[in-house]
Chains A and B, each alone.
Chain A
Amino acid sequence: MMKRFMERGWRSVVAILLVIVFWESTVRIFSIEEWLLPTPSAIVRELFAVWPTFYPHLLSTLLLAVLGFLIGALFGLTVAMVLHSFDKVRETIYPFLILSQNIPIIVLAPLLVIWFGFGTLPKFIIITIACFFPITISTLGGLQQTNRELSHYMLMMGASKREMFWKLELPDAIPSILSGLKIAATYSVMAAVVSEWLGAQQGIGVFMTIATSSYKTPRVFVAIIVTMLLSFLFFSVILLIEKLLKRFVVRGGA
């Protein structure tokens, strides 16, 4: 595992290092002001300096994102299963589902504040919506495209609808479900930060807004980079789950 990462991952690591070196040297050579574009080293320094005050914001966003993700995932999986089980409902709802996927959350956010105020409810709604769509769409896709040979076998053997679902359709859809979860995991962090812009006591989004309005650009970058790392962490957790469910994902050749 580690070895494979070393074999494949080294290119990406080198690329990132090159970008950082380029960034650092460009800023220094052209002596760009820090409030316009800070150097990577300044950002790292800022991270350590600001960490004690930043830390509570991070925790608050983390909690919001995790809870929002879990609610969104639960909701998304349930809706997918319901749509899968009832053909008529699916045919009616599906076009709307695809259409509503194109509504940008950022536009939706202020509306939700108008409707639900500044509490935690609109925040959870935003994150849930962001997570819900990729999960529903990919789960439904997985459930609808069951391996035809396997389902023909099950039908010939007289499997009930219930047995078809639990023994075939659901396990066969696990790779699709996981890919939906992966997308949702990264969305959830982003959605959490966006939702905090609307007004919150704490969170990376709040930290970011304050830093921006006072032109503390290195702090904005700290927030951006930590948000990215958080997304990556979420993504890695799903990858870990994928490893645990390996037997459902590894299919081998035909």
Chain B
Amino acid sequence: MGLSIQGIQKSFDEKVILDGVTFDVQDGEFVSLIGPSGSGKSTLFGIIGGLLEPEAGDITMAGTSIVNERGHISYMPQQDALFPWRTILDNVVLGQELHGKVDKTQAKEMLEFAGLGDVIYAYPHQLSGGMKQRASFIRALLSPQSVLCLDEPFSALDEFTRLDMQKWLLKTWEAHRQSILFITHSIEEALFLSDKIVILTNSPAKVKEVIDVPFARPRDESLLLTEEFLIWKRKVLDLVAKRAV
């Protein structure tokens, strides 16, 4: 059930934002999308989600076009977007309520696994930022769609929580292996988490480079300090900076 983005073209008020963006997310692949602020990453998500209509191009999932159709992907926004009047348990099954069947037993198991066992019946405002993001990710995982789109899910968290969340996300994802498209500003985060990194240029956004990340899985924190990791980080940094020339 791979996702394929083909030549997506999008402008707002005559200004071209996305100019022929093309790349694939294979089945079970973790792909990061990096690019300057305002380059159009969230706009691309809006198109994938069917909220925005592209002027040209196609998006297919397992071979069928899903352009302008909603409900084919699961989504995790930057702000947790948990519903304040729902308990954590009722929040994480929301995706299932919208599509498919609610399975509270499975939801409880996943919450336990995520270390949220004690707050199953609590309300979002009683949780810390990191806990809310975890609940939000579980909501995305539990939704029946096979492709997850994550828009800078950790950018609102502090440094320590973010590293914890990255490790936790890796562990959780490696157990489930769904296709993920992940927007981030952090090269380090992209290298640590993904199989493939798509680098976008700024105004208009095109795919500048697609990098295959060579690190074996399962990965852990120690990877961040290896020589190899630093070399790759340098390499990606150079590629991103090349834009100026």
Distance between Cα atoms of A250 and B85 in the complex (Å)? 8
**Is B73 a contact of A167 with CB atoms below 8 Å?**
no
- Taking a contact as CB atoms closer than 8 A, the residue among A152, A154, A248, A252 that contacts B124 in the complex is A252
Q: Which of B37-55 contact A (CB under 8 A)?
A: 45-46, 49-51
Interface segment out of the listed B93-101, B108-116, B193-201, B208-216: B93-101
- In the assembled complex, the CB of A166 is this many whole angstroms from the nearest CB of chain B, namely 10
A96 CB-CB contact with B under 8 Å: no
A58 to B151, CA, bound (A): 61
B219 at interface by CB-CB < 8 Å: no
B14-55 interface with A by 8 A CB criterion: 45-46, 49-51
Q: Is there an interface contact between B125 and A156, defined as CB atoms closer than 8 Å?
A: no
Question: Which of A149, A157, A247, A251 interacts with B98 by CB under 8 Å?
Answer: A157
Complexed CA–CA distance, A155 and B126 (Å): 26
Within residues 179 to 213 of chain A, which ones have a CB less than 8 A from any CB in chain B? Answer: none
Decide: A156 and B97 in contact? CB cutoff 8 A. Answer: no
User: What's the nearest-Cβ distance from chain B to residue A116, in Å?
Assistant: 42
Could you tell me the distance in whole angstroms from the C-beta of A81 to the nearest C-beta in chain B? 19
B45 touches A156 (CB 8 A): yes
CA–CA, A191 and B149, complex, Å: 54
Q: Describe A's contact surface by its main secondary structure.
A: helix
Selected contact of B81 from candidates A152, A158, A251, A252, CB within 8 Å: A152
- Give the distance in Å from the alpha carbon of A166 to the alpha carbon of B85 in the complex: 13
Q: Does B232 contact A (CB under 8 A)?
A: no
Contact of A158 among B70, B79, B124 (CB under 8 A): B70
Q: Is B83 an interface residue (CB 8 A)?
A: yes
Residues on A with C-beta less than 8 A from B49 are 155-156, 158
Are B98 and A163 interface neighbours, CB within 8 A?
Answer: yes
A167: which B residues are within 8 A, CB to CB? 83, 94, 97
Known: A149-B79, A163-B98, A252-B84. A156 touches B73 (CB 8 A): yes
- State how many angstroms separate the Cβ of B164 from the closest Cβ of chain A: 22
Interface size on B, residues (CB 8 A): 29
A248 in contact with B81 given A156-B45, A157-B95 (CB within 8 Å): no
Chain B contact surface mostly: loop
Determine if A159 is an interface residue (Cβ-Cβ < 8 Å).
yes
Contacts of B50 in A (CB 8 A): 158
Whether B184 is near chain A, meaning CB under 8 Å from some CB there, is no
Q: A156-B51, A157-B95, A167-B94 are in contact. Are A251 and B84 (CB under 8 A)?
A: yes
Contact check, B77 vs A153: say whether CB atoms are below 8 A apart: yes
Within 8 A of A (CB), among B113-132: 123-126
Cross-chain contact B98 with A158 (CB below 8 angstroms): yes
Measured in the bound complex, the distance between the Cα atoms of B82 and A154 in whole Å is 11
Q: Mark A216-254, 1 if CB is under 8 A from B, else 0.
A: 000000000000000000000000000000011011110
Instruction: Say which residue of B74, B75, B125 sits within 8 Å of A252 (CB atoms).
Output: B125
A199, B72: Cα distance in complex, Å: 64
B51 A155 Cβ-Cβ under 8 A: yes
Known contacts A157-B99, A167-B94; 20 additional CB pairs below 8 A are A149-B77, A152-B81, A153-B75, A155-B51, A155-B70, A156-B49, A156-B77, A157-B70, A157-B94, A158-B69, A158-B70, A158-B99, A163-B97, A163-B98, A167-B83, A171-B85, A247-B123, A248-B85, A250-B125, A252-B84
